[in-house]
Amino acid sequence: MLAERVLEMVGEEGINLVPYLPCEKIRYLLHLLRSSPLRSLLLNREEDGVGISAGAYLAGGKPALLIQSSGLGNSLNALLSLTVTYRMPLPILASWRGTREERIPAQIPFNRNLPEALRAWGIAVERVEKPSDLEAVGRAVREAYAREEPRVILLSPRLWEEEPEVEVSFPPRSRRVELHYEKTLSPPQLTRYEALRTIAEGVGEEEVLVSNLGFPSRELYHLRDRPLNFYMLGSYTQASAVGLGLSLFTERRVTVLDGDGSLLGSSLLPVVGAEGPENLRVICLDNGTLGSTGDQLTYSYSHVDLELLALASGIKRTRRACSKEELEEAMGEERGPLFVHVLVKPGNEKVGTIPLPPEEIKRRLRRAMGVEGAPQPRP
C-alpha cells in the first residue's frame, strides 16, 4: 500500500515527530500514522505545527508536518517569519486539495495555483501525483534538512484511490470534572520589564527561555541575554508552540514568556493540556494590551480570565501573580505543565532592538543544548 510506503520513507529519514491535522483524503494514512512508531501530535491549527516543529528542531528533534494543502494558507506567515527567517528545516506533507475531481468548491480557489504561489514565496514544492513519483517524498525530506528550509510535498488524491476504508471506533467519553474557582485580581504592581527582571533572575542556568515577539524579547535581551534564550522576531501566537516543541525533546525546563494578546489568538493551550509535558512552564505576562503595536486593549483587560482558560484547556497546575512576591512564589513551582498568569501594567521599557541575526539566535541555542557543533558552511 502507498500509505505504508510514505510512512516508511519518512521513518527512514529519521523523522521522529509528525504534528498533523486531518484531511479526509488521507484518512487511511492518518490511521496508520497513529499506530506507527512515529510520534504524532494532533493540532488545532496548522500554524501551531510550524511553531511546534521549530521548537522540536531547536532541541534536536526531526519533525515533519502533515496537513491538508489548504492549511498552508493558515501557515504562511509562520513559515516565512519563523521557518524561513531562522533557516530551519521543515518537510510538509500536504494532502493536495482543489485538484482531481474536487467536489468541494471552496477548496478550489486557494489550491488551483498553489505550486506557483508557493514558489513565489520562495518555498520549494514537490508534486507526487502517481505511484512512480513516490520516491520524491524521501528526497524532499532529505533536501529540507540539508538546505535548512521548508519543502512542501503535495500528495495527489490519486495516490489513495485504492486504499482500504478505515473502521472508526470511539473510546468511552464519560468523565468527571470538578472545579471550584474564585479569583480576585488586585491591580498589578509590576511593569512587564520588572516582571521579566524577576523571572530572568530566577531561571536556572540550564533552563531554556522562549520570549514573545516585540518588546518582551527586546526587554529580555536587555535584562539577561544568554545562549539559551530564543527570541521570537515574528510569528505572532507561536511562542508557546515553540516552547511546547522544545519541551518534547529535552529534559531541561522550558519556560515561555508569552502575552495575553498572543495566547488569545492561539489554540495551543488544549494541546499543552493534552500532551502534559512536565518540564514546560508558560508564563503569561498579561498587560491587557497589544503592547508592541500601540497598547490597544485586548479582551483580557476586563473580560477574559486567561488562568481559567488554561484550566479549561486541561492544564491542571496554574498560578496567578500581581506582585513581585507572588511571582517569585509561582516561579518556585517545579512540576508542570504549569501556567502562570501574571498581571502587569501596560507600557514598554525604552530598549533597543535585538542586534543578533535570526540564524545566530537559532544556532547558539542549538549549540548550548548540545545538538549542533561549530557553524558549518551553507550547502
Q: Give the pLDDT of residue 372.
A: 85
Grouping H, G, I as helix, E, B as strand and the rest as coil, residue 372 is coil
Task: Work out the number of other CB atoms within 10 angstroms of the CB of residue 159.
Answer: 23
Q: Give the pLDDT of residue 374.
A: 54
Report the alpha-carbon distance of residue 300 to residue 285 in Å, rounded: 11
Q: Which CATH superfamily is domain 2-160 in?
A: Thiamin diphosphate (ThDP)-binding fold, Pyr/PP domains (3.40.50.970)
C-alpha cell at 324: 513581585
Report the alpha-carbon distance of residue 352 to residue 220 in Å, rounded: 11
CA distances in angstroms from 136 to 32, 51, 70, 94, 152, listed in the order given: 20, 25, 21, 13, 11
Q: Which CATH superfamily is domain 192-368 in?
A: Thiamin diphosphate (ThDP)-binding fold, Pyr/PP domains (3.40.50.970)
CB 331 within 8 A of CB 299: no
| Sheet of strand 317-321, all strands in order from the earlier edge strand to the far edge | 229-231, 208-211, 254-259, 280-286, 338-343, 317-321
Q: Give the pLDDT of residue 126.
A: 97
Q: Give the pLDDT of residue 159.
A: 95
Residue-wise burial string across 75-108, b where 16 or more C-beta atoms lie within 10 A, e elsewhere: bbbbbbbbbbbbebbbbbbbbbbbbeebeeeebe
Per residue in 343-367, pLDDT tens?
A: 999 999 999 999 999 999 999 999 9
Sequential DSSP letters for 6-32: HHHHHHHTT--BEEE---GGGHHHHHH
Report the alpha-carbon distance of residue 244 to residue 131 in Å, rounded: 36
Which residue ranges in the chain fall short of pLDDT 70?
374-379
- Give, for 120, the enclosing helix (H) or strand (E): helix 114-120
Report the alpha-carbon distance of residue 261 to residue 284 in Å, rounded: 10
Strand pairing category for 254-259 and 289-290: unpaired
* Domain boundaries for CATH 3.40.50.970 within the chain: 2-160, 192-368
What is the radius of gyration, based on Cα positions, of the chain?
Answer: 21
CA angle 11, 12, 16 (to 5 degrees): 35
Q: Give the pLDDT of residue 339.
A: 98
Q: Give the pLDDT of residue 317.
A: 96
C-alpha cell at 37: 512508531
C-alpha cell at 276: 502534559
Report the alpha-carbon distance of residue 374 to residue 364 in Å, rounded: 9
- Residues 6+ positions from 198 with CB-CB distance below 8 Å: 190, 324, 327, 328, 331
Report the alpha-carbon distance of residue 97 to residue 12 in Å, rounded: 27
Q: Give the pLDDT of residue 145.
A: 98
Beta bridge partners of 321: 342
Grouping H, G, I as helix, E, B as strand and the rest as coil, residue 125 is strand
